Structure 1
Amino acid sequence: MDVVVARCAGLDVHRDTAVATVRWPGKRKNSRGQETRTYPTTQRGPAELSDWLLLEQVELVGMEATGIYWKPVFSVLEERFTCWLLNAQHMHNVPGRKTDVADSVWIARLLEHGLVRPSFVPPREMRDLRDLTRSRTAVTQESELGSAPASGPTGPPPAPRSSPSSRPSTTAAACANTRPSATSPQPRPGSGINTPSRHSQGVSKITGKPQRRSGPTTSTQ
Structure 2
Amino acid sequence: MKKTVEYEQVFERGCGMDIHKDSVYATVMGEGINTETRVFKTTTRDLRELGAWLTELDVKAAAMESTGIYWKPIFHVLSEFPINLMVVNASHIKNVPGRKTDKADSQWICKLLISGLLKGSFIPPADIQKIRDLYRYKKKLVHYISSERNRIIRALEDANVKLSSVISDTSGVMATHIIEGLLAGRKDLKNLVMERYHHRVKASPEEIVEAIDGKITPHIRFLINCIQKHISALHQQIAEVDAEIDKYVKAYETQIELLESIPGVGREGAISIISEIGVNMDFFPSEHHLASYGGMCPGNNESAGKKKSSRTRKGNQHLNTYLVELAWSAVKTKNTYYKAKYEILVKRRGKKRALIAIGRKILCAIYHMLKNNESFKELGSNYLAEKTQKNRIEYLKRELRQYGYKIERVA
TM-score of the aligned structures, taking structure 1 as reference length: 0.58
Paired AA for residue 53 in structure 1: L
Question: Which position in structure 2 is the counterpart of 1:102?
Answer: 104
* Corresponding residue SS for 1:156: coil
Give the CA deviation at 1:22.
1.0
**Kindly tell me: are residues 111 and 97 of structure 1, through their superposed partners in 2, closer, same or farther at Cα, counting changes over 3 Å?**
farther
1:120 has 2:126 as partner: no
Question: Which position in structure 2 is the counterpart of 1:3?
Answer: 9
1:35 has 2:23 as partner: no
- Write out aligned runs for 1:49-68 (5 A): 49-68=50-69
- Cα distance in 2 for residues equivalent to 1:86 and 1:19: 16
Question: Which position in structure 1 is the counterpart of 2:25?
Answer: 19
Q: Which has the higher contact order (CA 8 A, sep 6+)?
A: 1
Give the CA deviation at 1:75.
1.4
Give the CA deviation at 1:43.
2.5
Give the CA deviation at 1:72.
0.9
Percent sequence identity over aligned pairs: 36
- Cα distance in 1 for residues equivalent to 2:115 and 2:146: 53
- Write out aligned runs for 1:115-154 (5 A): 115-138=117-140, 153=180, 154=183
Give the CA deviation at 1:146.
8.3
Give the CA deviation at 1:66.
1.1
* Corresponding residue SS for 1:102: helix
Counterpart of 2:185 (choices 156, 177, 188) is 156
Give the CA deviation at 1:68.
1.2
Give the CA deviation at 1:133.
2.4
Give the CA deviation at 1:62.
0.4
* Corresponding residue SS for 1:63: strand
Give the CA deviation at 1:36.
0.9
Give the CA deviation at 1:97.
7.8
Give the CA deviation at 1:69.
0.9
**Kindly tell me: are residues 127 and 143 of structure 1, through their superposed partners in 2, closer, same or farther at Cα, counting changes over 3 Å?**
same
Give the CA deviation at 1:144.
8.8
**Kindly tell me: are residues 50 and 141 of structure 1, through their superposed partners in 2, closer, same or farther at Cα, counting changes over 3 Å?**
same
**Are 2:30 and 2:114, in contact at CA under 8 Å, matched by a contact in 1?**
no
Paired AA for residue 91 in structure 1: I
Give the CA deviation at 1:127.
1.0
**Kindly tell me: are residues 54 and 98 of structure 1, through their superposed partners in 2, closer, same or farther at Cα, counting changes over 3 Å?**
farther
* Corresponding residue SS for 2:12: coil
**Kindly tell me: are residues 102 and 146 of structure 1, through their superposed partners in 2, closer, same or farther at Cα, counting changes over 3 Å?**
same
TM-score of the aligned structures, taking structure 2 as reference length: 0.33
Spell out, residue by residue over 1:50-106, the C-alpha distance to the aligned partner (whole angstroms, 9 max, x if none). Answer: 1111111111010011111111101111232111111222212x8x78726611100
**Are 2:44 and 2:77, in contact at CA under 8 Å, matched by a contact in 1?**
no
- Cα distance in 1 for residues equivalent to 2:60 and 2:97: 23
Give the CA deviation at 1:10.
0.5
Give the CA deviation at 1:137.
4.5
Question: Which position in structure 2 is the counterpart of 1:78?
Answer: 79
Paired AA for residue 121 in structure 1: I
**Kindly tell me: are residues 9 and 139 of structure 1, through their superposed partners in 2, closer, same or farther at Cα, counting changes over 3 Å?**
same
- Cα distance in 2 for residues equivalent to 1:145 and 1:111: 45
- Cα distance in 1 for residues equivalent to 2:45 and 2:20: 16
* Corresponding residue SS for 1:47: helix
Paired AA for residue 22 in structure 1: V
Q: Which runs of 5+ in 1 are unaligned?
A: 27-31, 160-221
Give the CA deviation at 1:20.
0.7
**Are 1:97 and 1:106, in contact at CA under 8 Å, matched by a contact in 2?**
no
**Are 2:17 and 2:109, in contact at CA under 8 Å, matched by a contact in 1?**
yes
- Cα distance in 1 for residues equivalent to 2:66 and 2:54: 20
Structure having the higher Rg = 1
- Cα distance in 2 for residues equivalent to 1:98 and 1:146: 47
**Kindly tell me: are residues 141 and 115 of structure 1, through their superposed partners in 2, closer, same or farther at Cα, counting changes over 3 Å?**
closer
